[in-house]
Structure 1
Amino acid sequence: MSGRGPGPLGHGGQAGPPRRAEDFRGSAKRLFATLLVDRASVIGVMVLGTIGVGLSVVGPKVLGHATDIVFSGFVASQLPEGVTKEQAVDQLRASGDGQVADMVGAMDITPGQGIDFDALGQVLLGVIAIYLLASIFMFVQGVLTTRLVQRTVAGLRSEVEDKIARLPLASFDTRSRGEILSRVTNDLDNVAQSLQQTMSQLVTSLLTIVGVLVMMLTISPMLTLVAIVTVPVAGFVAAAIAKRSQPQFVEQWKSTGVLNGHIEENFTGHEVVKVFGRQEQAKVTFDEANDRVFGASFRAQFVSGIIQPVMMFVSNLNYVVIAVIGALRVASGAISVGDVQAFVQYSRQFTQPLTQVASMINLLQSGVASAERVFDLLDEENEVPDLSEALAPTLVQGRVAFEDVSFSYKPDEPLIEHLDLVAEPGQTIAIVGPTGAGKTTLTNLALRFYDVDAGRITLDGVDVRAMDRDVLRANFGVVLQDAWLFGGTIRDNIAYGREGASEDEIVAAATTAYVDHFVRTLPDGYDTVVDDEGSNLSAGQRQLLTIARAFLANPSILVLDEATSSVDTRTEALVQQAMEELRRGRTSFVIAHRLSTIRDASRIVVMEHGHIVEQGTHDELIEAGGAYARLYAAQFAGATI
């Protein structure tokens, strides 16, 4: 409710920048545990990924066999026809070509016979089939991963929505609305994006590393050792560069935040800037901030941009070393040309997933940090549940009694102490006093947005803590100082007061609240669409809509918290008449700063520092010459001056 007292941390701070997870391991385990709820899909992702990666890894080896067929056919065509391979090898040795003889001796060829195109065609078709199947398996895995991630995040989003409905009002007082909204939207979206990008790629990359390493070892353990040695070198270089670029990124986003703040401030206060002629100063400040963003961004991108060229250099150096050693091994007959070709492909496949895994670490950290913020919200203590046999009275007379009530937002700062107040059915109780006196807190306690620390509040003699919250609040109609509307038509906004209300009832409530007249002047009438801020209506019109909503609810008890603060003097007089009609036969609590609006209240209660300092009718309090009389005199004396 508007105007409620601050909770333990006031109204909450601004949402901070993204942070690293405080308990990365614990939050990551919990996040992936939510994925395991759909165990069948997780297993499916792993199985499909293993098959797809396995086929992809086998491809280069089979393709290397095709290279061997071509190379062997070419070599065989250069040898004399009609001799055996052994005779051809002996002839080569006799002519002094020992290395060529070793190479030919290790090959499966028939001298004089050219390339076996039938065998080559079968191998190539096999390679095409392998890669096609691998693509199909990886595609299905991607679809299954997307379905798994989105269902998991949808489940988390539902949990958060349910959680918000169960949180006590104090939870919303300890942090800003933007902070909570950020957890529900930005953090959950970041979790979805991080899981979507990392889960499939991480599984694929890790499986590829293992599969490629196995295939490389089967081809040549020595070449595998050469390929592995370059990996830590590349990792060390990349880490060293990343360490230098990180401060530049921090400065980039820090200066970007300053620039955005300056732009937002000047756009929001554009009229003030114009009025005081500060355009040039604003432009100078913008240029300075813009230059800082440019410098920091350039340095960050330049330094971090070195990583990829360095990684490519190390990868190419690795390629050259493998090619040279592989050629020597081919010349000695220790390995075939096709195997060298396959090994070069594997060396490329080996470094690529390592780079991907390294690049996904920050993304994964960001996702886990967001998940931790969501889990932190889900772990908050729920509102104290209703009793197992909570009372649900069907007929409420409206007698509200505060009996020796004490309450504080902070244990060491008492707000209300030993307060007694009784509102008889049909009475209008006006509550006045300075800001922070505890006026709105009283109504919050009656509605059980908070529970009292001591004493009790009763409705028709029944302790409200023994009542079902929904039933209790259904008997209250509340009109706040801040007019809250949601995106929809004017009809929908009024009908929010009571589910299933008929068109005639909606129009009747609008007419009583002086809404019908201005609504009918709009082109679409009751079908006029308003946004969630009601920007296409004036402040007074928005306030009248919320009053019409309260009329439609037809409650037993009314709470009017500065309900006419946004309407003009003429409309206020009309609304006051309507309020009198609405309050007839109902218990009403009216919180007001304009004392002229509560002169006819059954009883006026004056609060200061959480205590009732005096109460009575308007005339009685004026005659007493106490706090109310001073407030009244100050208000109207100020108006006169």
Structure 2
Amino acid sequence: MDKNSGKAFDYNLFKRLIAHTKPYRFTFFGVALAAILLSLFAVVFASFAGRIVNDAIKVKDPDKLLMLVLAMFGVLLGQVISQLCFNYYANWLGESVIKDVRVALFKKMIGFKMQYFDTSSIGVLVTRAVADMQRIGEIFSQGFFVIVADLLKMLTAAAFMVYLNWKLALLVFALLPIILYATRLFQKAMKKAFIEVRAQVSNLNSFVQERITGMKIVQLFTREEIEKENFRKINEKHQNAWLKTVWYNSIFFPIAEIVTAIAIGLVVYFGVLQDLNSINQDNIGTIVSFLFLIELLFRPLRQIADKFNTLQMGMVAANRVFAILDTDSHIEDTGTIVKDDVKGDIEFKDVRFGYLKDEQVLHGVSFNAKVGQTVAIVGATGAGKSTIINLLNRFYEIDSGAILVDGIDIKEYTLASLRSHIAIVLQDVFLFADTIANNISLMDDSISVKDIEAAAKQIGVHEFISSLPGGYAYNVKERGTMLSSGQRQLIAFLRAYVSNPSVLVLDEATSSVDTYSEQLIQQATEKITQGRTSIIIAHRLATIKKADKILVMDAGKIVETGTHKELLKKGGYYSKLYEAQFLAEEVV
């Protein structure tokens, strides 16, 4: 869509946006009616101003003066009421539309496959869901309807000018091409400027979010001054992008003011000349009306240019948001099987997969995990261990081969059904800024605090949680920063246990934890793996000695299979790996 960045207005994009107002069509037409009334009241007010001069002041008729003043007051009251309804319901409509679009956007994003997030900036996505949404809302509250209302004012003002005095009207209209041409240039320039502004806002958000998230690394490697300088450069680009818009405004609005002042001067000069040469001498009231009408004609033009800025910023934001909504990056959920009693029999058949095209990570992986078995997967970093877990959950689609659960291809299951039977404990545990209880249940109403406490006692972590201030109501803050890595792992184990999965996956779950936490984790592991199929990925081979089967991976292939004792007897890759770890531990 960037190819259209030079266009002042994208009709197709706007049409798509307007489609979101259909549920609020009565409000939409109500706002449109208020805009029409505002234009009519404005012209009637100008008419009454001229009549006061000609029909009351010149003939010195106090009764008619009072009547016209009261009529003007009534018109003014109508304007106030119409303006109030216009402002409130235009904003209400805008907020309602962005509420719906934001829900649709969030629903779209949580359905994306992991590969999309691997290549997308989180800061940019946050900008789309928050800041850009507000810009879209402003299309209705400060852009489109305001422009329509101002255009109606201009048309009615122009028509009434012709009716009052076509000669003076032509004089005013002769100046319109100047301001219209300036407005056109202004709109095109602002369109390009606002695209740059939105890009710099996204860059700024991404930079700040990443540095705050990685603040430990920034301070640990004393990069404060370097990051400060990087931020200064990005912030300067952001400032320069905004200054372009300020510069264009600084040029346009003085031109508009000068043209308006010239129009007023010409009307007064030639209107008075006409009045001096006229027998009836009624042009004074007409001139007074024209002074109001010129404001109605030229002020909306200035406002339209200003509001067109808002409209264009909203359109740029809508363009970016719809680009995400149009992104086809989701796992096809075409399966129809929903099972409540998955046993947990897993089989990989010649599975091949690569995160990037023509760069395979798995080269024909085949293995099975029988119901209730504990299968461990070991190997060097990058061997493809975690990839197997990602594919089992259908976070990514395999290139070829098949993955079966209970003898059924996982593509035949609905995604919700498949994933509901698999629980994963990752090495890098993610916790939300919420209570421990909510982080365990993930707001599932079917899991009560009593259920959580009972499960915690069963796997031996109740004592640890109870020792925290507030116990299960303890708020772990963003990403669980109030807990140690070992404590976060224990919470993750409990989260997996209460979901009662048929298949349990432990991905490096005991790495980087203290000895005490590791003992608790080992106890929890023995408890939660009982009676269910378990897949354990581990670097520390001492933790998988009791596994029913060990798969040894190297460069995306399974090179050895067997129990701990069987693999040691072979004296192959596993044996060498175990000896290397054992010697390293002995040295320590």
Change (3 A) 1:633 1:324: farther
Report the residue type matching 1:523 in the other structure. Answer: P
- Cα distance in 2 for partners of 1:489, 1:229 equals 69
- Cα distance in 1 for partners of 2:144, 2:371 equals 62
Counterpart in 2 of 1:628?
A: 574
- Percent identical: 33
| 1:475 matched to 2:475 | no
8 Å Cα contact 2:552-2:559 kept in structure 1: yes
Counterpart in 2 of 1:28?
A: 14
Counterpart in 2 of 1:597?
A: 543
Counterpart in 2 of 1:39?
A: 25
8 Å Cα contact 1:24-1:365 kept in structure 2: no
Kindly report which structure 2 residues correspond to 1:239-278, keeping only aligned pairs within 5 A, or say none.
none
Counterpart in 2 of 1:338?
A: 285
Change (3 A) 1:498 1:166: same
Q: Which stretch of the first structure deviates more once superposed, 574-583 or 36-45?
A: 36-45
Q: Secondary structure at the match of 2:352?
A: strand
Counterpart in 2 of 1:583?
A: 529
8 Å Cα contact 1:246-1:300 kept in structure 2: no
Match of 2:167 among 222, 230, 245: 222
| 1:355 matched to 2:302 | yes
Deviation at 1:135, TM superposition (A): 2.0
Report the residue type matching 2:67 in the other structure. Answer: Q
Counterpart in 2 of 1:611?
A: 557
Deviation at 1:252, TM superposition (A): 9.6
| 1:386 matched to 2:334 | yes
Q: Secondary structure at the match of 1:420?
A: strand
8 Å Cα contact 2:333-2:415 kept in structure 1: no
| 1:431 matched to 2:417 | no
- Cα distance in 2 for partners of 1:405, 1:251 equals 45
8 Å Cα contact 1:206-1:353 kept in structure 2: yes
| 1:505 matched to 2:491 | no
Deviation at 1:244, TM superposition (A): 9.1
| 1:64 matched to 2:50 | yes
Q: Which stretch of the first structure deviates more once superposed, 524-533 or 576-585?
A: 524-533
Deviation at 1:198, TM superposition (A): 0.6
8 Å Cα contact 2:194-2:312 kept in structure 1: no
Match of 2:137 among 192, 199, 204: 192
Change (3 A) 1:514 1:203: farther
Change (3 A) 1:311 1:125: same
Change (3 A) 1:271 1:573: closer
| 1:213 matched to 2:213 | no
Deviation at 1:173, TM superposition (A): 3.6
Deviation at 1:492, TM superposition (A): 1.7
| 1:153 matched to 2:98 | yes
8 Å Cα contact 2:7-2:191 kept in structure 1: no
| 1:557 matched to 2:509 | no
Counterpart in 2 of 1:413?
A: 359
- Cα distance in 1 for partners of 2:70, 2:85 equals 23
Counterpart in 2 of 1:324?
A: 269
Deviation at 1:508, TM superposition (A): 2.4
- Cα distance in 1 for partners of 2:194, 2:567 equals 64
Deviation at 1:284, TM superposition (A): 8.5
- Cα distance in 2 for partners of 1:247, 1:158 equals 29
Superposed CA offset, 1:463-499 (max 9, x none): 2222233222222121122212223221222223864
| 1:138 matched to 2:83 | yes
Change (3 A) 1:27 1:278: closer
Counterpart in 2 of 1:120?
A: 65
8 Å Cα contact 1:515-1:541 kept in structure 2: no
Q: Secondary structure at the match of 2:495?
A: helix
- State the superposition RMSD in angstroms: 3.7
Deviation at 1:156, TM superposition (A): 1.7
- Cα distance in 1 for partners of 2:402, 2:225 equals 61
Report the residue type matching 1:350 in the other structure. Answer: L
Q: Secondary structure at the match of 2:174?
A: helix
Q: Secondary structure at the match of 1:384?
A: coil
Change (3 A) 1:155 1:588: same
Q: Secondary structure at the match of 2:302?
A: helix
Q: Secondary structure at the match of 1:386?
A: coil
Q: Which stretch of the first structure deviates more once superposed, 395-404 or 450-459?
A: 450-459
Match of 2:148 among 203, 219, 230: 203
Match of 2:435 among 450, 468, 489: 489
Change (3 A) 1:261 1:404: closer
Counterpart in 2 of 1:454?
A: 400
Deviation at 1:268, TM superposition (A): 8.1
Deviation at 1:588, TM superposition (A): 0.5
Q: Secondary structure at the match of 1:529?
A: coil
Counterpart in 2 of 1:54?
A: 40
**Given the two structures, how large is their TM-score scaled by the length of structure 2?**
0.87
Report the residue type matching 1:418 in the other structure. Answer: G
Q: Secondary structure at the match of 2:275?
A: helix
Deviation at 1:316, TM superposition (A): 1.6
Counterpart in 2 of 1:364?
A: 311
Kindly report which structure 2 residues correspond to 1:51-130, keeping only aligned pairs within 5 A, or say none.
51-73=37-59, 115-130=60-75
| 1:308 matched to 2:253 | yes
Count of residue correspondences: 581
- Cα distance in 2 for partners of 1:189, 1:614 equals 56
Q: Secondary structure at the match of 1:471?
A: helix
| 1:396 matched to 2:382 | no
| 1:374 matched to 2:321 | yes
Report the residue type matching 2:387 in the other structure. Answer: T
Counterpart in 1 of 2:388?
A: 442
Deviation at 1:125, TM superposition (A): 0.6
Deviation at 1:287, TM superposition (A): 8.6
Unaligned runs of 5+ residues in structure 2 are: none
Report the residue type matching 1:364 in the other structure. Answer: L
Change (3 A) 1:568 1:585: same
Change (3 A) 1:20 1:496: farther
Superposed CA offset, 1:167-202 (max 9, x none): 444443442333333322232222112332112211
8 Å Cα contact 1:510-1:545 kept in structure 2: no
| 1:177 matched to 2:122 | yes
Asked which structure has the greater CA Rg, the reply is: 1
Deviation at 1:137, TM superposition (A): 2.0
Q: Which stretch of the first structure deviates more once superposed, 141-150 or 278-287?
A: 278-287
Deviation at 1:417, TM superposition (A): 3.2
- Cα distance in 2 for partners of 1:469, 1:442 equals 17
Superposed CA offset, 1:568-587 (max 9, x none): 12211221122012111211
Change (3 A) 1:484 1:224: same
8 Å Cα contact 1:497-1:553 kept in structure 2: no
Superposed CA offset, 1:582-610 (max 9, x none): 11121101112233322322222122232
Change (3 A) 1:362 1:331: same
- Cα distance in 2 for partners of 1:256, 1:159 equals 23
Q: Secondary structure at the match of 1:488?
A: coil
8 Å Cα contact 1:479-1:560 kept in structure 2: yes
Deviation at 1:634, TM superposition (A): 4.0
Unaligned runs of 5+ residues in structure 1 are: 1-15, 74-114
